[in-house]
Amino acid sequence: MARLIIMGGGVAGHTTATFAKKWLGNDHEVVVVTPNSQWNWIPSNIWVGVGQMTKKDVVFPLAPVYKKAGIDFRQALATEIHPNGKADDDTPYLVISSTEEGKEGQTEELTYDYLVNATGPKLNFDATEGLGDGQGGLSGHTVSVCTADHAVHANDELQQIFEKAKAGERQKILVGTGHGMCTCQGAAFEYIFNIEHEARKANIRDMLDIKWISNESFLGDFGMGGLHMKVGGYAVSSKLFAESLYAERNVEWIIGAHTSKVEDGKIEYELLDGTMHEETFDFAMLIPPFAGVGLKAYDKDGSDMTDTLFAPNGFMKVDAKYDAGAYENWKASDWPVTYQNPTYDNIFAAGIAFAPPHLISKPMSSPNGTPINPTPPRTGMPAGIIGKAVAISICDIIKKGKDAELHKASMAHMGAACVASAGKGIFTGTAAAMTVYPVVPDFEKYPGTGRDTDYTFGEIGLAGHWIKHILHHMFIYKAKLKPAWTLIPE
Partner 1 sequence: MKHEEVNFQNEQFNLTMIPGSFARKMRTNIIWQFFRFMVINIKMLIVVSKSH
Q: Judge contact between 349 and 454, C-beta under 8 A.
A: no
Return d(Cα 88, Cα 86) in angstroms, integer.
Answer: 5
CB of 163 to partner 1, least distance (A): 27
Q: Does 466 bind partner 1 (CB under 8 A)?
A: yes
Q: Measuring CA to CA, which residue among 202, 197, 156, 195 is closest to residue 175?
A: 195
Among 54, 79, 99, 435, binds partner 1 (CB under 8 A): 435
Q: Does 489 bind partner 1 (CB under 8 A)?
A: yes
CB of 422 to partner 1, least distance (A): 10
DSSP lists the bridge partners of residue 153 as: none
Give whichever of 340 and 430 is closer to partner 1, judged by the CB atom.
430
Among 433, 440, 476, 479, binds partner 1 (CB under 8 A): 433
Among 244, 280, 343, 486, binds partner 1 (CB under 8 A): 244
Q: Judge contact between 366 and 374, C-beta under 8 A.
A: no
| Cα torsion 297, 300, 303, 308: sign | negative
- Exposure letters 332-355 (e unless 16+ CB within 10 A, then b): bbbbbbbbbbeebebbbbbbbbbb
Q: How many angstroms separate the Cα of 164 from the Cα of each of 47, 161, 210, 265, 279?
A: 21, 5, 15, 15, 20
Q: Measuring CA to CA, which residue among 431, 432, 437, 433 is closest to residue 416?
A: 437
**Cβ-proximal residues to 189 (8 Å cutoff; 6+ apart), any chain:** 222, 420
Q: What distance separates the 2 farthest-apart alpha carbons in the chain?
A: 72
CB of 274 to partner 1, least distance (A): 21
Give whichever of 239 and 261 is closer to partner 1, judged by the CB atom.
239
Give whichever of 304 and 459 is closer to partner 1, judged by the CB atom.
459
Strands 347-349 and 114-117: parallel
Q: Does 250 bind partner 1 (CB under 8 A)?
A: yes
Among 145, 213, 257, 460, binds partner 1 (CB under 8 A): 460
Give whichever of 125 and 269 is closer to partner 1, judged by the CB atom.
269
Q: Does 85 bind partner 1 (CB under 8 A)?
A: no
Q: Does 461 bind partner 1 (CB under 8 A)?
A: yes
Residue 412 DSSP class: T
Q: Does 96 bind partner 1 (CB under 8 A)?
A: no
Q: Judge contact between 382 and 344, C-beta under 8 A.
A: no
Among 163, 252, 304, 405, binds partner 1 (CB under 8 A): 252
Q: Quick one: which H or E segment has residue 48?
A: helix 45-48
Q: Does 455 bind partner 1 (CB under 8 A)?
A: yes
Number of residues that bind partner 1 (CB under 8 A): 35
CB of 350 to partner 1, least distance (A): 15
User: What part of residues 357-386 is at the interface with partner 1 (CB under 8 A)?
Assistant: 381, 385
Return d(Cα 372, Cα 364) in angstroms, integer.
Answer: 6
Give whichever of 91 and 244 is closer to partner 1, judged by the CB atom.
244
Among 464, 468, 475, 479, binds partner 1 (CB under 8 A): 464
CB of 489 to partner 1, least distance (A): 5
Return d(Cα 293, Cα 122) in angstroms, integer.
Answer: 5
CB of 474 to partner 1, least distance (A): 12
Q: Does 463 bind partner 1 (CB under 8 A)?
A: yes
Q: Measuring CA to CA, which residue among 313, 314, 315, 296 is closest to residue 305?
A: 296
Strands 72-82 and 93-98: antiparallel
Contact region with partner 1 (CB under 8 A), list: 72-80, 250-258, 259-267, 283-291? 250-258
Q: Does 309 bind partner 1 (CB under 8 A)?
A: no
Q: Strand, helix or coil at 429? A: coil
Give whichever of 20 and 76 is closer to partner 1, judged by the CB atom.
20
- Exposure letters 167-205 (e unless 16+ CB within 10 A, then b): eeeebbbbbbbbbbbbbbbbbbbbbbbbbbbbbeeeebb
Rg (CA), the chain: 22
User: What part of residues 389-428 is at the interface with partner 1 (CB under 8 A)?
Assistant: 413-417, 427-428
- Binding to partner 1 by CB under 8 A, coded x per residue (else -) over 191-230, reads ----------------------------------------
Q: Judge contact between 120 and 351, C-beta under 8 A.
A: yes
Among 202, 291, 467, 474, binds partner 1 (CB under 8 A): 467
The residues that touch partner 1, with contacts defined as CB under 8 A, are: 240, 243-244, 246-248, 250, 252-253, 381, 385, 388, 413-417, 427-428, 430, 433, 435, 437, 455, 457, 459-464, 466-467, 489-490
